[in-house]
């Protein structure tokens, strides 16, 4: 049997492929070499999931890998019309980031409820200022995105006593459809964006949607930066139309140093790190090895993305 060629798009630290050593021919590519090396690859591992190189390189001539795996939950950075129309199977890293992101969201919600940003600010100023804070139990959350990450966020918030509504692409047991979103936003104390980026979700949190929220509500985005119209969000926070926000993802990443978001009072900025806990790269590598074992044995892969919808269906 011919040894398959695995092409890895990425930079250091590179994935640990463990028991695949000697069973595959591993080649590496960056944005400048990917187009030339795609035709010789049987499998493409998109290890650098911040890169958009696949979208640019895929439409070229020659054979294409039969399977593409991205070490991320989102696939918007690699899907292009040519890849979507091809027979190539696309899989993602579903299951790796659910728990860590849910914990991160819970930390942000607790930080807002307990006024931790101002506590740290007063400490830096050596200011003793007693305040009353908010009790989390009994508040309401609207989690937009009913995939594994959204469900994990909802479950974690529920464990803290938060009444949580989950909104997905279509209504079903335990999940509201898009037609309920405005009504749920108007009642929510916490609005969590955890949806995949698709044509129907791009810019969904615009000035109108943010205006539906209560002045006492907080907004958290751990999905994709393009879910939010950033200028509208900044204005909503600046004018106190909402109480505050936390963004872990942005329209442009890294967030430019001159972005006004850095210094906007009431806004917490973090560098796309909500799902990245100690050992996460090793987990991603182990997950890919398990998927490769299935692929090499001719067995059905899991985490298969519906390339038309832009996410793994069935959740």
Active-site residue identified among 25, 272, 281, 309: 272
CA 209 to chain centroid: 20
Name residue 28's beta-bridge partners: 8
CB-based contacts of 107, cutoff 8 Å, min separation 6: none
Element (H or E) spanning 89, and its range? Answer: strand 89-91
**Pair 51, 77: CB distance under 8 Å:** yes
CA 287 to chain centroid: 18
- CA–CA dist 247, 199 (Å, integer): 21
Active-site residue identified among 121, 179, 231, 253: 253
253 carries an active-site annotation: yes
- CA–CA dist 41, 48 (Å, integer): 17
Closest CA to 201 of 235, 184, 224: 224
118 carries an active-site annotation: no
Residue 109 tokens, joined: 């919600």
Residue 44 tokens, joined: 């493409």
Active-site residue identified among 64, 151, 176, 224: 224
Closest CA to 249 of 265, 231, 273: 273
19 carries an active-site annotation: no
State the catalytic residues.
224, 253, 272
């Amino acid at each position: 049997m011919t040894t398959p060629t695995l092409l890895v798009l990425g930079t250091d630290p590179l994935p640990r492929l463990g028991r695949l050593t000697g069973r595959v021919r591993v080649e590496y590519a960056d944005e400048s070499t990917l187009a030339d090396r795609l035709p010789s690859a049987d499998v493409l591992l998109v290890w650098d999931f911040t890169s958009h190189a696949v979208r640019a390189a895929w439409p070229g001539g020659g054979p294409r890998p039969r399977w593409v795996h991205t070490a991320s939950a989102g696939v918007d950075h690699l899907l292009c019309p040519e890849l979507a129309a091809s027979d190539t199977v696309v899989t993602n890293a579903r299951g790796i980031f659910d728990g860590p992101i849910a914990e991160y969201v819970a930390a942000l919600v607790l930080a807002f409820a307990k006024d931790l940003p101002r506590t740290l600010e007063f400490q830096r100023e050596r200011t003793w200022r007693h305040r009353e804070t908010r009790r989390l139990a009994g508040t309401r959350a609207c989690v937009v995105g009913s995939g594994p990450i959204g469900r994990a966020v909802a479950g974690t918030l529920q464990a803290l006593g938060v009444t949580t509504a989950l909104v997905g692409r279509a209504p079903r047991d335990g999940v509201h459809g898009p037609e309920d979103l405005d009504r749920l936003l108007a009642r929510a104390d916490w609005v969590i964006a955890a949806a995949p980026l698709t044509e129907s979700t791009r810019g969904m949190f615009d000035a109108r949607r943010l205006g539906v929220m209560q002045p006492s509500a907080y907004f958290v985005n751990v999905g994709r930066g393009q879910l939010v119209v950033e200028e509208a969000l900044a204005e909503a926070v600046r004018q106190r139309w909402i109480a505050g926000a936390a963004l872990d993802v942005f329209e442009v990443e890294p967030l430019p140093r001159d972005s006004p978001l850095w210094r906007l009072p009431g806004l917490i900025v973090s560098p796309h790190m909500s799902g990245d806990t100690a050992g996460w790269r090793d987990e991603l590598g182990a997950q890919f090895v398990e998927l490769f074992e299935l692929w090499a044995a001719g067995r059905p892969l899991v985490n298969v993305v519906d390339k038309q919808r832009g996410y793994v269906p069935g959740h």
